[in-house]
Structure 1
Amino acid sequence: MHDRQHEIHRRLDRMLDERIRPAVVTARSPLTVRRWDVDGEPVPVGTALTAVYRDAEVGEPWGPAWSTTWFALTGRVPDDWDGIVESHVDLGFGTHHPGFSAEGLAYRPDGSSVKGLHPRNQWLPVEGPEVTYLVEAAANPDISMRVPTLVGDVRTASREPMYRLVAADLVLVDQQIRELAADLDVLGQLAAVLPADDARGPRLWQTISQALDRIDLADIPGTAASARAVLAPALAATADPDAHRITAVGHAHIDSAWLWPLRETVRKVARTCSNVVQLMDDRPELVFAMSQAQQLAWLKEHRPEVFERVREKIAGGRFVPVGGMWVESDTNMPGGEAMARQFLHGKTFFEREFGIDTQEVWLPDSFGYSAALPQLIALSGSRWFLTQKISWNTVNKFPHHTFWWEGIDGTRVFTHFPPVDTYNSELSAAELRHSAVNFADRARATHALAPMGWGDGGGGPTREMLDRAARLADLAGSPRVSIRTPAEFFADAQAEYPDAPVWWGELYLEIHRGTYTSQAKIKQGNRRNEHLLREAELWCTTATVRAGAEYPAARLDRLWKTLLLNQFHDILPGSSIAWVNRQARDDHAAVTAELEQIIAGALQVLGCGGTPGAAVANAAPHARRGIPAGGAAVPAEATPVSCEQDGGTWLLDNGLVRVVVDGEGHLASVVDAPTGREAIAPGSVGGLLQIHPDLPNDWDAWDIDEFYRDTVRDIRDVTTIRPVDGGVEVLRSYGASTFTVTISLTPGSPTVDLAVDADWQEQEKLLKLAFPLDVRAAESAAETQFGHVLRPTHTNTTWDAAKFEICAHRFLHVGEPGYGAAVVNDSTYGHDVTRDVRPDGGTTTTVRLSLLRAPRWPDPETDLGRHRLRCAVVPGATVLDAVREGYRINLPEREVAAPVAPLLAVDNDAVVVESVKMAEDGSGDLVARLFAAGGGREKAVVTVDVPVTGVRYTDLLERPLTDAPAPVDPHRVELDLRPFRIVTLRWSRG
C-alpha cells in the first residue's frame, strides 16, 4: 500500500474507533441494577422471577466459575429522547473472542426471552418507555489459553469472582451515524484487500478521505449524511459480471460440549436461538442454518417458548435445520450402526417436529471424515455434504472445494468445502477475498458458501454482518454476496458443476490424530455400549417375536440418544474439559448397567437365564463358529490349552496356535499351526510396550505430532512372570506406572489374547503396544463403518507420510498374497503401521496400538488411573477372519441355559448382519441391516424363521426405497451385493 493510502487507512481506523462508532450513541441513561447470585446449577426463569434481589452497582464483581448471577435491570426512557432507543449491557466480557467468556440471556417480566448478550453483541431492544430486564448471566471461564487448569471442573474451580459488571445503560442511537460507520467499514476493508494493480483501490481510498473531510468532529450527527453522500457512488458501483459468488448462510456452530459442560450448551443454544429469531424480526433477509437435532430437542425441553418461535421461523423457511444427524459427531470412531442411528434419530426429529426432510449433511468441525460416510449420507435420503475442517491440514492442501466424494462402496455425494476457511465468518473483506482467491475450482465454478456468525455461544450472526452483506450484494471489486439457504446454494452449485472432480476414500485430517486415543475410558464405554445396544435390540426383538414380550422401544431410544450425544466430536475424541469427561464416563457406566438389565430381562423371558459369564452364546452375526443372528450355539470340541515352562520361556499351545513367551514376557514366536507359518518377525518380539514423549506443538488432547517417534523407550523390565489359566501373567513397571499383561489362549480359538491392566500415572507420555509381523504388506486394512479402508504402509508421497497415525475400529489387517495377520481390540482406535526391510531381505510390518496418552490441556488428569485394555493377534488371518475375531473380542460372553432359534440366518459368512430390531414406528415390523464385509461382491440368501407377510428394502430411516423392488419371497431374500454395500430389510408381520 502506498504511503498516501496507508495514511488514509490509519486515519480511517482512528476515526471509526475513537469518534464515529462512539458517536452512534448520543445519550446515555443508567439502569438501576439489582442482583441475585446462584452458586450451583442454573435455575428456571420462573424461580428467578420470584427471587429476592439485593441492590447492586455497575463495577461490582460477580461470577465464580460456572455460577450464575441474575441481574434485574430497570429504568425509564427519558421524556426528551427522540429516536432509536436501545440498552447496552456489558457483563465484563473477559475476552473479545466470542464463546469463551461470560454470556447472558435477557428476559422480559413475563419470563419470555429477549435476546442474548455476548462479547460482540451487547445490545438489547427497548420495547416501551418503562424498561425491565432480567439477565441470566453465566460465569463461564475462558479455558482457551491451552495451559493446564483446574477450572475445567466445577469441583476444582476457584470460587473467586471472575467478572465485573461494566455497563448497564439505556442509550439513544443515531441511525445515520451507524449507517455511516457501516459504509466506511465495508469500503475501508475492501480498499485494504484490493490488489496493488487494481485502480479501484486508490480511488476508494481517495473517496474515503473525501468523506472523512466532510465530518465535523464537533458535529458528527450533523455531518454524517454529507459524508455518506460522498461514499454513495462507490457503494453503488456494481461487481464484475464474472465475480465470485458467495452464499452467506447465518450460522452459529455450537459444540455440544467442549470447554463447557452439556448443561451450559443447553443455555448457549437458548441464547443463540433467541438472538436469531429476534434478529429475523428486525431483518427479514436473514437465513439461519442450524444442525444437531439434539440441540433443538434441548430447546424444546428446556425453553419451549423459544422453541415455538424457532418453529415459526422454520415454517417461514428462514430458520433452516441442516445436518440430518443427532449431533455433529466424530466420524472416525463411531461404529457403523451408531453412524446409521445418528442419521435415523436426527432426520426423524426434523421430520417429526418440522415436516422437513433435511438434504444437507453439515459437519464443518469434525476431525476427519470416514470413507463410509457417502453411502450413509445417500441411504439417509440426503444429497449433499459440507465440511470445513480439512482446511486445517498441516502438510497437504486439499485440491478441491467443490467435488464428488466417493465412498468405499462406490456411492458419490456432491460435496462443498467452503474456501473461506472458517465456519465463523463475519463477512470481512479479507475473508471474502480469501474465498475468491483460495477457491480451487474457480476455473469451472463460481459458487461458494460462507457460514456467517459467531459460534460456540458467541450468539450467531449480528446486524453488523447483515449490514456488510447488504452492501456487498453487488459491489465493484468484491465477490457478490447473497443470503440464501444451503439448499439453494447446493442446487445452483451442482447444476453449474455437475462434472466436478472426484475424491475417493476418506477425508483424512492431517492434525488432531491424538483424538483416536485421548480419554481411553470414554472410548471404551463407547465401544462397549455400541455392542450392548446391538445385543439388547437383538434379544428384545427375539423376546418380542418368540414370546410376545413388550419391546422396550422408549428405553432403547433414550439409551441410543445418550450414546449418540457422547459421540459428539469433542466428547468421544477426548478433547473436552474434565467436567465433560467425567459426565461422559458416568453416562457410559449408567447406559451399560441399564443395557445389562434389559438384556437379562429379555433372556429371562426367553427362558435362557442369561447371565454375563463364560460361554460365547450370544447372537453375533459372523461370530466365531458361525453363530447366526438371534441364536445361541453349543461350543464345538476344542483342544485344551497347554502351558509349559521351558527354562526361561513359556510354551502355550491349543492345537490352532503355538506361542513362545520369552523371559521378558514378550511374544517371541506365534505360529499358525495349520500352516506352520511364523507370524512374529525374526529378531523381534510382539506385545512390546513402548513409551514416547507426547508434547505436541499446539493442541494437547487433540494432537500427536510426528516427531514423537524420534524418542522411544521399550518397557522390557519384568518384575514377575507367572502361569495363569490358559497362559501367563507378566508384571512390569515404568516410572510411577505399573502394567500387568496377561497373554493367553482359548480352546478352539486361533488367536493370541493380550489383556493390559495399567495403573497409568504418567503425564505427557504416549503408550504404544507393538506387534512386528513377518509379512510384506503394501497396505493395511483398517475397519471402519460397514467395511474397511485400505491405507498404504509406505511413505512415497506427502499424503502417505501424513497418515503416520490412523484410526481403526475392531481390527487392523496386514497381508501379502497367500498370508496375512490381524490385530483386533476391544476399545482402541489409534494405530500406526510401518514397514522395514531386514538384512535377510524379508519385510517386517509393525502394527502398533496407541493405548494411553496423558495430555494436560484441557483436562490436566487425562487418563490417569487404572485401565484394562484387551487385544488379540490373529496369525494366518484373512480380512474375514479379522472381521470375525473383531466381533468376538467385543461381544460380551453370555451363559445361557438353552439355545434360542435364530430369527434369521445368512448363508454367506462375508455378509454380516449388523443389527436386528423392531421398526422405529412401533408397527411391529422386523428390521435387519446387513453389509458385504470382505471388500468383494457377494451373493447371499437371508432366510427368516418368523411369520412374515412381506419384505421391502429401506433406507436408514426404515422408509421403502422406491428404486428397489420388493423381494418375491419374504422368507427367503436373495441378495447380490457390491463391495461394502449396506442393505436394510424390513419385514411386515401382518
Structure 2
Amino acid sequence: MLTFNQKLVRDIDFHIRKIKDNIYTPLAELTVYGFITPEPVPFSQRQQGKSFEFRIGEKWGDLWDCAWVNVRGTLPSATYEKNITLCFDCGGEALIVDGSGVPLRGLTNVDSTFERSLGMPGKTVWRLPAEYYRSGEVNIWIELACNDLFGASTGGVMRQAHLAHCRDDLRDLYYDAWVLFDLLSCLDAKSPRYKAVLACLNDALNGLGDFSEANVAKCRQALAKELNKQGGDPSLTVTGVGHAHIDLAWLWPIRETKRKGARTFATALDLMSHYADYIFGASQPQLFQWIKDDHPELYQRVKQHVQQGRFEIQGDMWVEADTNVPSGESLVRQFLYGRQFFREEFSQTTRMLWLPDVFGYNANLPQIMRKSGVDYFMTQKLSWNEHNKFPHHTFTWQGIDGSSVLTHMLPEETYNGPAAPRSIRRIEEEYREAGVCDSALMLFGIGDGGGGPGPEHLERLQRIRNLSGISPVKQGKAVDFFRHIEKTQPRYPRYKGELYLEKHQGTLTSQANNKRFNRKMENALRELEFVASRQWLCCQSVYPTDALRALWQETLLYQFHDILPGSSIKRVYDESCARYQAMLTQAQTLTQRYLDEFTTTLAIPPGKTVVQNTVGFTREAWLAQPDGYHHVTLPAFGYAVLGDAQVIPPILATPDHLENALISVDFNDQGHIVAFFDKQAQRPVLQPGSIGNRLAVYDDICADCWDINITYRDRQPQAFTLVSSAAYQDGPHAVVEQHYRYGQSQLCQKISLLPGSKRLTFETHIAWHEDLKMLRTSFVTATPSDDVSCDIQFGKIRRRALTNNVYDAAQFEICAHKWIDYSQRDYGVALLNDGKYGHYAKDGVLDLNLLRSQNHPGVGADRGEHTFSYALFPHTGDEIEGLVNREAMLFNNPVRVSVSEGRTAEKTVALPDSFIYCDSPHICIETVKKTEQGDRLAVRLYEFDGVHAATTITLNAHMGHCCLSNLMEEDEEPLTVSDGCVSLTFTPFEIKTLLIDVA
C-alpha cells in the first residue's frame, strides 16, 4: 500500500514524463538514401558500396557495417524561429558532417547496455543551423555505424528520420521539474526542504492543465520558488568536468574507436556553442592523433577550444594504459610520447595521470610519474574492490622509492556521472576525506563507448549550481581542482605501495599471445635501441628515429587497458596479433642489420662467428657451430669472437632423471617432479613429498576474461596426462621431452639443464582447445616465507604469502613480471617466465597461471597454439645474493649471433669488448638510446634490490658533458666525468637517466 506522499511522487513522475513526451512535435518525414560498406570509407568516397534506400522500421546492416547516407527534405512553410530539430536514429551510431565532410555532431541510438541509473545514453536530436531556414531545404550527409555505444548490434534498424518542432519553454519546464524531482531522492523525507519541494512540484504540475505558453510559464514560475533557493556557506564544493571515457578498443575494434572519437569531439564542440560555461576534457594523445589524421578541420577547432580554455587535455600517457603488465620502460614511453605530443600540438602538458578505468596500479608508478613531470593522479577503479573497501578518496600515494603523488579517487565512484542532484548527494555521503578537503571532482557524461555529455547534463548543471539541499557545483578544469586541493595536502592520509584492485585478476593471464607479444616487443625495442645507438656512436650509422617512434607508439597503443589485459572482443586480438608479428619482424630485421654492420666494422675473417650480449650483465652461453659446441663468456653490452670448440662437461638425462654437477631432478611416471635436490647446497629445493610441475586444469567457472572466481582452488583440479617421455642430450642441454594430453588439447614440454647452471627450464608448446578451463603449474618450495618477492617495473615488492586476514585472502592472484621468489636469508627459489604475469603465492607455493579459456568478451579466448617458457631457479642466499633479477633478465634476452662475410667497412674502428657497463651488482642498465631531441646518448638505470648503491658507469666511447635528467630527458643536473667514467649513487629502487654528449 502506497503512502500519500508516495502517491504524490508517482503522480509527479507521470506529469514529468508527459511533459517530456510533448517537447518535440513531428513535422515532416525525411528521405534517407545512401551506400553501405563493410568498413569505413572517407567522405570523398561516400558514394561507393551497396546503394540502399533506408526506410523506417527496416534493417539496413549487420554488426560493424558502415554507411554514408544523404538525408533530404523540405522545411514546412510555417516558421518556427530556428526551433526545428532533426530527429534521427539509425539503430546505431552516426556522425553529421557539413558539405565538406567536417564533423558537426555525433548521434547514437537510445538502446544500449549503458547503466540506466547514470542516465540515458541516446543522442538523437540535432537543432538545425540557421542556413537551413534560409534555404528551406534539408540536405545532410551522415556517416552511420551499425553498432551501439557498447559494440553490440541493435539490428541495424532505421527508427527515426524526421523534422520536429522543439518547444523550448516546455523543454525548460521539463528540466526544472526533473531536477527538483531528483532532489527529492537526496533529501530526508521528514525534512522541511523535502516537504516544500514535494508540495511545490505537486501544486505546480497539477495546475499546469494544457501546455499553452501561458500555462507553461506559470508552472515554471511556481517551480522557481524552490529551484532558486540557494545553499549557505558550503562545506564542500564539487567541480564538474564534462567527460567521455573512450575505450580505444573493447567491445568494438580500433577502427570504430577512431569514429567514436570524431563523434564525441564534434558533439562536445557543438554543445560548447550553446552552453557558455561548458568545459569538456579528454585524455589520450593517440585519440587526438587519430582526429588530426582523419578530420583535420575538426582537430583545428579542438585546438582553438583548448587555447580558449574550454577543452581540457587530461593525462599525459599516450593511451590510458594498463599499469600492471607493461614494463617500466613502456610506462616511461607512455609519458614521453604523450607529453611530447601535447607540448608540440598544444604548447602545454598536464600534470595529471588520468586513469579512471585501469585494473590496479603498480607500486613504482609514483616515481615514474614524478620523474615524468606528473604530480596528480585521478582514478575511480579501486571502488570496484570486491572484498575490502579502499579506505581513501583523497590521499598521498607513496611508491617503493619514497616518491609520492597527490591522488583523488572520484567520490561518486563513476566517470559516467549524470550530473544530477543524486550525484552530489552520493559525493557528500561517500567522500571519506570531506572533513579535511573542501572539494571533490565529478566527471559527467556518457563514457566507455564515448559520446560524452548531452544537453540534459548541462541543463541540470545550470539548475544545481547552488541549489539548496545539496553542495554547490561549478564547472571547471580538473587541473585547477588539483591545484586547489594541493594547498591542504599535508592533512590528507598517506598510502604506500601498490594500489591492488580486488577484481579483474584474470586480466593478468587472458589473451596470452598478446601478453607474450608485448613482452617480446619490449625486449626487441630495447635491443634495437642499444645496437642502433652503438652503431650511431661508433660508426656514424643512421639512427632509425622514425621507425622506432612508430614501433613504440603502436606498441603503446596495444597496452591500452582493454587490449593488453585481454578484455576486448576477438577481432581486436586477431588484428593486434597480426600487427605484433609484423612489428616484431621489422624490429628484429633492423636489429640484425645493425648486428651485421657491427661485425663488418670488426673486420674479422670470413666465416667467424660473433656472439653479442645486448643486456647489461655479464653472461655465459653455449652455441652450436659446425665444428662442435662453443662455450663463451660475454661482457655486459659486449661481444666475443668464437674460437675453438670445447668439451661439454658431464650431464645426465633419462626419462625419470636430469642431473648436472649442481642439481638433480627426479620425475615420476606422470612426468611430475618428485625430487629436486641442490647438490651444491646439500638441501632439497622443493618440499619433500610434494609434486612439482603438475599441469593442473581448473574449472574456470562463474568467470570471464576479466575475472577469476576466488573459489577456484576449492575445487580439485584435473591434470594433463603423460602420453610419452624421452630423454636425450642436445649438445650441452640435458633434456627430458614429455608429451601430454588433456581433453582436446596436446602439450609438449622440453625440460632441460645446462652444465654449471641451477636453472631448470620448461620450454612449452601447447595446442589448447578447452572451454572454461584454466591451466596452471605449481611448485611447493622447501623455503617457505611469510612474504614473497615479486619483480615489478624498475624494482620489486614483497607481498604477504599468508592468508591471515581478508586483505591477504583477497590477493589470491598477484602480478609479477620476469620472476617471483621465496627466500630465507640463506637460500631461496625463484620462478622465472618469458611472458606470464598471473601468480598465486601462498604458504610456500609458487604457482604460475599459464592459460585461460573464457568466452566473454573475446569468444574462444586463448584457444589455439601457444609457445612459452618458464624456469625454476634455486639459489644460495636471498634473491639479492642469488642474483635472481640478473638470471631473469638473461632468461628473457638470448644472445645474438652474426657471422662475418669477410667484408670490411669503409671505416673500421677499434671497438672494446663492452660498449657500456656498471660495476654494481645492484644496478641494471635498462635502456641505451639516442635522445629524442639533439644528438646525445640517453642511458636509463635503476637500483633493483632495494638497497643504497654506488657505481661507476663506463662508456667505451668519448664521454663529453654528462648530466642527470628526468625521464623526459630534461631538467639537467651536471655530473663530473673522469677518464670516460661517471660515478653515481642510488637510493633504493631509484631510477636515473643520464644524458651524455659524445664525440
1:182 match: 175
Local SS of the residue matching 2:301: helix
Deviation track 1:746-790 (CA, whole Å, cap 9, x = no partner) reads 233321111122111111001001111101211111111000111
- State yes or no: 1:275 paired with 2:275: no
- State yes or no: 1:640 paired with 2:646: no
Local SS of the residue matching 1:790: strand
Residues 390-469 of structure 1 mapped to structure 2, 5 A cutoff: 390-469=382-461
Residues 291-302 of structure 1 mapped to structure 2, 5 A cutoff: 291-302=283-294
Q: 1:679 aligns with which of 685, 691, 714?
A: 685
Which letter maps to 2:832?
V
2:118 match: none
Residues 657-806 of structure 1 mapped to structure 2, 5 A cutoff: 657-697=663-703, 700-715=704-719, 717-724=721-728, 725=730, 726-806=734-814
Relative to structure 1, the CA distance from residue 644 to residue 382 in structure 2 (aligned partners, 3 Å threshold; closer, same or farther) is: closer
1:29 match: 28
Residues 603-618 of structure 1 mapped to structure 2, 5 A cutoff: 603-607=595-599, 617-618=612-613
Q: 1:134 aligns with which of 138, 141, 147?
A: 141
- State yes or no: 1:972 paired with 2:981: yes
Calculate the TM-score normalised by the size of structure 2.
0.92
Is the CA contact (8 Å cut-off) linking 2:833 and 2:870 kept in structure 1? yes
1:227 and 1:754 map into 2 onto residues whose CA distance is: 77
Relative to structure 1, the CA distance from residue 819 to residue 54 in structure 2 (aligned partners, 3 Å threshold; closer, same or farther) is: closer
**Deviation of 1:190 (Å):** 0.5
Superposition CA RMSD, Å: 2.3
Is the CA contact (8 Å cut-off) linking 1:91 and 1:163 kept in structure 2? no
2:406 and 2:678 map into 1 onto residues whose CA distance is: 46
Query: Identity, % of aligned pairs?
Result: 33
1:305 match: 297
Local SS of the residue matching 1:414: strand
Is the CA contact (8 Å cut-off) linking 2:610 and 2:640 kept in structure 1? no
2:16 match: 16
2:809 and 2:609 map into 1 onto residues whose CA distance is: 44
**Deviation of 1:111 (Å):** 1.6
**Deviation of 1:801 (Å):** 1.0
2:84 and 2:504 map into 1 onto residues whose CA distance is: 44
* Deviates most, 746-755 or 785-794: 746-755
Local SS of the residue matching 1:585: helix
Is the CA contact (8 Å cut-off) linking 1:89 and 1:122 kept in structure 2? yes
Unaligned stretches of 5+ residues in structure 1: 94-101, 146-150, 152-160, 836-844
Deviation track 1:610-632 (CA, whole Å, cap 9, x = no partner) reads 99x99973221135359555312
Is the CA contact (8 Å cut-off) linking 2:245 and 2:450 kept in structure 1? no
Is the CA contact (8 Å cut-off) linking 1:728 and 1:743 kept in structure 2? yes
Which letter maps to 2:102?
S
**Deviation of 1:267 (Å):** 0.4
1:620 match: 615
2:907 match: none
2:102 match: 112
2:115 match: none
Relative to structure 1, the CA distance from residue 237 to residue 960 in structure 2 (aligned partners, 3 Å threshold; closer, same or farther) is: same
Calculate the TM-score normalised by the size of structure 1.
0.92
1:212 match: 205
1:753 and 1:900 map into 2 onto residues whose CA distance is: 33
Is the CA contact (8 Å cut-off) linking 2:26 and 2:162 kept in structure 1? no
2:487 match: 495
1:841 match: none
2:763 and 2:609 map into 1 onto residues whose CA distance is: 17
Relative to structure 1, the CA distance from residue 164 to residue 651 in structure 2 (aligned partners, 3 Å threshold; closer, same or farther) is: closer
- State yes or no: 1:585 paired with 2:580: no
* Deviates most, 190-199 or 800-809: 190-199
Relative to structure 1, the CA distance from residue 741 to residue 224 in structure 2 (aligned partners, 3 Å threshold; closer, same or farther) is: same
Which letter maps to 2:303?
R
2:123 and 2:580 map into 1 onto residues whose CA distance is: 37
Deviation track 1:400-435 (CA, whole Å, cap 9, x = no partner) reads 000000011110000000010101111122222111
Which letter maps to 1:59?
G
* Deviates most, 341-350 or 192-201: 192-201
1:652 match: 659
**Deviation of 1:28 (Å):** 1.9
Relative to structure 1, the CA distance from residue 214 to residue 967 in structure 2 (aligned partners, 3 Å threshold; closer, same or farther) is: farther
**Deviation of 1:323 (Å):** 1.1
1:156 match: none
2:996 match: 987
Is the CA contact (8 Å cut-off) linking 1:243 and 1:480 kept in structure 2? no
Is the CA contact (8 Å cut-off) linking 1:670 and 1:875 kept in structure 2? no
Relative to structure 1, the CA distance from residue 110 to residue 50 in structure 2 (aligned partners, 3 Å threshold; closer, same or farther) is: farther
2:647 and 2:257 map into 1 onto residues whose CA distance is: 54
1:36 and 1:649 map into 2 onto residues whose CA distance is: 67
Local SS of the residue matching 2:251: coil
Deviation track 1:653-698 (CA, whole Å, cap 9, x = no partner) reads 1x2333223332222222333322211111012222111100235x
Relative to structure 1, the CA distance from residue 228 to residue 969 in structure 2 (aligned partners, 3 Å threshold; closer, same or farther) is: farther
Is the CA contact (8 Å cut-off) linking 2:63 and 2:156 kept in structure 1? no
1:96 match: none
1:193 match: 186
Is the CA contact (8 Å cut-off) linking 2:36 and 2:52 kept in structure 1? no
- State yes or no: 1:47 paired with 2:51: no
Is the CA contact (8 Å cut-off) linking 1:107 and 1:133 kept in structure 2? yes
Relative to structure 1, the CA distance from residue 470 to residue 955 in structure 2 (aligned partners, 3 Å threshold; closer, same or farther) is: same
Is the CA contact (8 Å cut-off) linking 2:410 and 2:440 kept in structure 1? yes
* Deviates most, 889-898 or 688-697: 889-898
- State yes or no: 1:517 paired with 2:509: yes
- State yes or no: 1:890 paired with 2:885: no
1:789 and 1:86 map into 2 onto residues whose CA distance is: 62
**Deviation of 1:112 (Å):** 1.8
Relative to structure 1, the CA distance from residue 714 to residue 641 in structure 2 (aligned partners, 3 Å threshold; closer, same or farther) is: farther
Is the CA contact (8 Å cut-off) linking 1:66 and 1:141 kept in structure 2? no
- State yes or no: 1:553 paired with 2:545: yes
1:201 and 1:662 map into 2 onto residues whose CA distance is: 75
Relative to structure 1, the CA distance from residue 903 to residue 208 in structure 2 (aligned partners, 3 Å threshold; closer, same or farther) is: same
**Deviation of 1:497 (Å):** 3.8
Deviation track 1:104-160 (CA, whole Å, cap 9, x = no partner) reads 001122222210002321122312223221111100268778xxxxx8xxxxxxxxx
Relative to structure 1, the CA distance from residue 633 to residue 450 in structure 2 (aligned partners, 3 Å threshold; closer, same or farther) is: farther
**Deviation of 1:59 (Å):** 2.7
**Deviation of 1:77 (Å):** 2.7
1:206 and 1:817 map into 2 onto residues whose CA distance is: 74
Local SS of the residue matching 1:879: coil
1:59 match: 57
Is the CA contact (8 Å cut-off) linking 1:174 and 1:221 kept in structure 2? no
2:242 and 2:976 map into 1 onto residues whose CA distance is: 45
Q: 1:565 aligns with which of 552, 557, 560?
A: 557
Which letter maps to 1:532?
A
2:114 match: none
- State yes or no: 1:932 paired with 2:950: no
2:468 match: 476
Relative to structure 1, the CA distance from residue 641 to residue 503 in structure 2 (aligned partners, 3 Å threshold; closer, same or farther) is: farther
1:518 and 1:468 map into 2 onto residues whose CA distance is: 41
Unaligned stretches of 5+ residues in structure 2: 111-121, 621-632, 901-910
2:330 and 2:642 map into 1 onto residues whose CA distance is: 30
1:112 and 1:13 map into 2 onto residues whose CA distance is: 40
**Deviation of 1:337 (Å):** 0.7
Local SS of the residue matching 1:908: coil
Relative to structure 1, the CA distance from residue 538 to residue 470 in structure 2 (aligned partners, 3 Å threshold; closer, same or farther) is: same
Is the CA contact (8 Å cut-off) linking 1:575 and 1:702 kept in structure 2? yes
Local SS of the residue matching 1:607: helix
2:217 match: 225
Relative to structure 1, the CA distance from residue 588 to residue 27 in structure 2 (aligned partners, 3 Å threshold; closer, same or farther) is: closer
Local SS of the residue matching 2:175: helix
* Deviates most, 597-606 or 941-950: 941-950
Which letter maps to 2:945?
G
Is the CA contact (8 Å cut-off) linking 1:737 and 1:762 kept in structure 2? yes
